[in-house]
Amino acid sequence: MEGMGFMSGNKNQVVMLTGASSGIGKATAQWLMERGFRVYGTSRRAPGIREGQPAHSSPSGGFIEMIPLDVSSEESVENAVRTVIEREGRIDVLINNAGMGIAGSIEDTSIQEAEKQFDINFFGCLRMIRHVLPVMRRQGWGKIIFISSVAGMISIPYQSMYSASKYALEALVEALRHEVAPFGIKACLVEPGDTRTEFTSSRIIAEAAGKDSPYDNRFRKSLARMEHDEQNGVPPEKVARVIHGMILKKNPPIRRAVGFGYKTILLLKKLLPSWLVEKLVGMLYA
């Protein structure tokens, strides 16, 4: 059976969204609420709907309710998914957006720092889908959108662990699409480029990346470049619009980069010889 939520178009679809307290997640929650979606936004900072937090709502009938959720905690994920199911009985769309970045040279990044990066960006998504897939399989429908990055297709020096966590997501989704299609579930990736959010101020710098590091000079220059590009990037609403577009598509493509410039860069990566791509990335970030 095709689901009620999907058959009724935009209106009344139940969306669970991670990382909704700022940046892309916050803008997406707002964007979808204004278009009639029932949005359960989550994040560590979320106050929690049981504490009497009034829902934001729009004339179109949409709303945003915030639920506390730490994607690095299995228990927290389980509780948040249960809360949505208790309220709505279904989840039509899951948007795996929560994420952060750790920067530093590979040599300067400790195993613990690398694990933390993967724990949020990759295992966080895995925890979410392990709890939401059984719900969607029972429904016989559902859509899961993963927020990857252009860095999930082109690895960036001094952001290697971040890039690797997003490459891992890309691999997960390539396989996931095949596995869940027979159950009526669609999965896809959205790949933003530089976007003006709290991502820049929340970035963790590898502890060993101080003045004593042999990489210090080049790392600082690269970091300044990434911070500048992010802070002069597109507003998060631009990503929200692309995410909404993927929700509307009956059969979303596997991945969609945000903006003409980044689509072109990713096309060039396919077309150009790899030595040239490497040279161009080096000119920008190494």
The residue among 104 and 236 lying less far from ligand NAP, judged by its C-beta, is 236
Closest CA to 203 of 85, 148, 121, 111: 121
Q: Smallest distance, Å, CB 72 to ligand NAP? A: 5
Evaluate whether 67 touches 83 at the Cβ level (below 8 Å): yes
Q: Smallest distance, Å, CB 152 to ligand NAP? A: 8
Distance CA 31, CA 37 (A): 9
Paired strand residues for 204: 102
What's the alpha-carbon Rg for the chain, to the nearest Å? 19
The residue among 170 and 216 lying less far from ligand NAP, judged by its C-beta, is 170
Q: Smallest distance, Å, CB 175 to ligand NAP? A: 20
Paired strand residues for 68: 43
Distance CA 78, CA 124 (A): 12
Distance CA 100, CA 156 (A): 15
Q: Smallest distance, Å, CB 115 to ligand NAP? A: 13
The residue among 13 and 165 lying less far from ligand NAP, judged by its C-beta, is 165
Q: Which two tokens stand for residue 168?
A: 């891992």
Q: Smallest distance, Å, CB 79 to ligand NAP? A: 13
Give the footprint of ligand NAP on this chain (CB under 6 A).
18-25, 43-45, 69-72, 97-100, 120, 147, 149, 192, 194-195, 197-199, 202, 230, 233, 236
Q: Smallest distance, Å, CB 41 to ligand NAP? A: 8
Distance CA 276, CA 229 (A): 22
Ranges of beta strands (E only) in the chain are: 14-18, 38-43, 56-57, 63-68, 93-96, 102-103, 142-147, 185-191, 204-205, 255-257
- Residues marked active site are found at 21, 148, 162, 166
**Residues 144, 67, 150, 248, CA torsion sign:** positive
Evaluate whether 64 touches 26 at the Cβ level (below 8 Å): no
Paired strand residues for 103: 205
